[in-house]
């Protein structure tokens, strides 16, 4: 059994393309071309060059000595926080902007929640000299002013999503509506392994550079390619998909997915999709999502805007359902505490999303000889105000 997508974009029972006919030509064009384009030597060369010279890859695999001592196991951090723009998101946007150029697209649209993906998209659009429109929930625009300013400085237009709950899911709806209205010249850069096929698979492939590098780096440091565990936080699931990718079909590598419990799974203010979700359709994908019993999509909550999504990518729904992945949910408080601990033990200020991944060290006991790789998906600059408010700094 493989945990990768099949040719119709299904991971087990999850995935597919549940889209209105208006989007069929757009996604079909992408579906028919994405693998071919990604495998063209000229595409690979340009992609790898930009990842190296522009993004700053390979990112280090860092042995966290003091953290390891504290938890009596061997912990390595994959330093996606050192990517240009501060998170793994840019791996995907570099790939997709090159894809858009190959497809002859003249205009880019994207959705964003906290603004990380919006900034990563605005960045690559500036790099490519292509028009960029980023949809962002009206509420998020107010909450994430620095990232809104960054996007504007980079030349993007930030359009408020005024519908529904005016957050990430609605920004995604607005981006999809824009694509319906502009089917020919526009490419939609989705920010995670969500949406209709081929997006989850395409984004996972662009992010797979993370686990490709881990394998090589671990071989150099430990004489083996495989850790015992690979840990990542899951919002939509793109940093996790990238960190797991080359280990998905290697059962001896334990996969740990960390979701945001918000104020607690049973409080009604949570984003722990595997615990609270049921199978359904969100943004064109059949997956697990948080919804009412009538199938209305509900609004999640997490202190971390990047994990505040009511669904999860179909790869992760399948990892959960099949038992291949172990899913752990972490509350706001646990994440904030773990984030501060990382600052003080290792001198690294993590994004609050990533802090969730570190909090599992308090939950799960590893053996002293275990090699645990934690994907440090992003840095905490964008979250400074949150940290300040939370810790009264």
Partner 1 sequence: MNRINQKLKEDKKLLSIYFTAGYPNLNDTAKIIHDLEKYGVDMIEIGLPFSDPLADGPTIQESSTAALRNGMHTELLFEQLRDIRKTVSIPLIVMGYFNPVFQYGVESFCKKCQEIGIDGIILPDLPLDVYQEEYKTIFKKFGLINVFLITPQTSEERIRQIDAVSDGFIYMVSSASTTGAKTGFENKTQTYFERINAMNLKNPQIVGFGISNSDTFSQATRKAKGAIIGSAFIKHLTKNGVEKIDEFVNGIR
Q: How far is the CB of 53 from ligand PLP (least distance, A)?
A: 22
> Which position has the token pair 């522009």?
54
Whether residue 270 lies in the annotated active site: no
Tokens representing residue 40 in the block? 């063209």
Work out what residue 235 binds among ligand PLP, partner 1, none; the CB cut-off runs from 5 to 8 Å by kind.
ligand PLP
Work out whether 306 is an interface residue with ligand PLP (CB under 6 A). Answer: yes
User: Given candidates 31, 78, 169, 246, which one binds partner 1 under the rule CB under 8 A?
Assistant: 169
Q: Please list every residue from 21 through 80 that binds partner 1, using CB under 8 A.
A: 21-22, 24-25
Whether residue 21 lies in the annotated active site: no
User: Given candidates 9, 12, 15, 16, which one binds partner 1 under the rule CB under 8 A?
Assistant: 16
Q: Select 167 or 211, whichever has its Cβ closest to partner 1.
A: 167
Q: Which residues pair with 331 in a beta bridge?
A: 262
Q: Which residues pair with 136 in a beta bridge?
A: 112, 160
Among 120, 114, 119, 111, which residue's Cα sits nearest to residue 91?
Answer: 120
Helix (H, G, I), strand (E, B) or coil at 87: strand
Whether residue 111 lies in the annotated active site: yes
Q: Please list every residue from 51 through 110 that binds ligand PLP, using CB under 6 A.
A: 87, 89
Work out whether 296 is an interface residue with partner 1 (CB under 8 A). Answer: yes
- 25: exposed, middle or buried (C-beta count within 10 Å: 0-12, 13-18, 19+)? exposed
Contact call for residues 335 and 191 (beta carbons, < 8 A): no
Q: Please list every residue from 339 through 368 that binds partner 1, using CB under 8 A.
A: none
176-179, long-range: CB < 8 A, 24+ apart: 176/23, 176/283, 176/284, 178/109, 178/133, 178/135, 179/23, 179/26, 179/109
Work out whether 167 is an interface residue with partner 1 (CB under 8 A). Answer: no
Residues with Cβ < 8 Å from 352, sequence gap 6 or more? 303, 304, 306, 335, 336, 339, 380, 383, 386, 387
Q: How far is the CB of 173 from partner 1 (least distance, A)?
A: 5
Among 241, 276, 272, which residue's Cα sits nearest to residue 258?
Answer: 272
Work out whether 314 is an interface residue with ligand PLP (CB under 6 A). Answer: no
Work out whether 123 is an interface residue with ligand PLP (CB under 6 A). Answer: no
Work out what residue 146 binds among ligand PLP, partner 1, none; the CB cut-off runs from 5 to 8 Å by kind.
none
Torsion, Cα of 365, 371, 373, 374 (10° steps): 20
Work out whether 268 is an interface residue with partner 1 (CB under 8 A). Answer: no
Q: Going along 81-190, which residue ranges are E strands?
A: 107-112, 131-137, 157-161, 186-189
Q: How far is the CB of 177 from partner 1 (least distance, A)?
A: 5
Q: How far is the CB of 135 from ligand PLP (least distance, A)?
A: 14
Work out whether 163 is an interface residue with partner 1 (CB under 8 A). Answer: yes
Interface positions with partner 1 (CB under 8 A): 16-22, 24-25, 163-164, 169-170, 173, 176-177, 180-184, 278-284, 291, 293-298
Chain residues binding ligand PLP by CB under 6 A are 87, 89, 114, 116-117, 192, 233-240, 306-307, 351, 353-354, 377-378
The catalytic site residues sit at 89, 111, 377
């Amino acid at each position: 059994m493989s945990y990768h997508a099949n040719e119709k974009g299904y991971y087990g029972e999850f995935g597919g393309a549940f889209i209105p006919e208006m989007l069929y030509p757009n996604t079909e064009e992408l579906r028919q071309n994405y693998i071919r384009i990604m495998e063209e030597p000229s595409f690979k060369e340009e992609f790898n060059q930009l990842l190296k010279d522009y993004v700053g890859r390979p990112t280090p695999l860092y042995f966290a000595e003091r953290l390891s001592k504290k938890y009596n196991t061997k912990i390595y951090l994959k330093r996606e926080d050192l990517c240009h723009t501060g998170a793994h998101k840019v791996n995907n946007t570099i790939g997709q902007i090159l894809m858009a150029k190959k497809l002859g697209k003249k205009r880019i649209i994207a959705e964003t929640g906290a603004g990380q993906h919006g900034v990563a998209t605005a960045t690559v659009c500036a790099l490519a000299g292509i028009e960029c429109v980023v949809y962002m929930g009206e509420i998020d625009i107010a909450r994430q002013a620095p990232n809104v300013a960054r996007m504007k400085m980079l030349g993007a237009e930030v359009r408020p999503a005024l519908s529904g709950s005016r957050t990430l899911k609605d920004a995604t709806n607005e981006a999809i509506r824009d694509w319906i209205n502009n089917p020919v010249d526009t490419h939609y850069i989705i920010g995670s392994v969500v949406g209709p096929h081929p997006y989850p698979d395409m984004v996972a492939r662009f992010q797979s550079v993370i686990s490709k590098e881990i394998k090589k780096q671990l071989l150099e440091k430990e004489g083996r390619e495989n850790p015992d565990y690979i840990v990542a936080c899951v919002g939509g699931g793109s940093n996790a998909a990238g960190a797991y990718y080359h280990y998905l079909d290697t059962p001896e590598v334990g996969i740990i997915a960390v979701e945001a419990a918000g104020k607690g799974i049973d409080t009604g203010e949570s984003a722990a999709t595997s615990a609270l979700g049921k199978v359904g359709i969100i943004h064109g994908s059949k997956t697990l999502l948080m919804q009412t019993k009538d199938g209305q999509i509900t609004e999640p909550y997490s202190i971390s805007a990047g994990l505040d999504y009511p669904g999860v990518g179909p790869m992760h729904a399948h990892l959960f359902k099949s038992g291949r992945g172990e899913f752990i949910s972490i509350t706001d408080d646990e994440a904030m505490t773990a984030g501060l601990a990382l600052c003080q033990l290792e001198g690294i200020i993590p994004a609050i999303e990533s802090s969730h991944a570190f909090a599992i060290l308090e939950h799960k006991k590893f053996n002293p000889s275990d090699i645990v790789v934690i994907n440090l998906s992003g840095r905490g600059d964008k979250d400074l105000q949150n940290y300040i408010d939370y810790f009264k700094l």
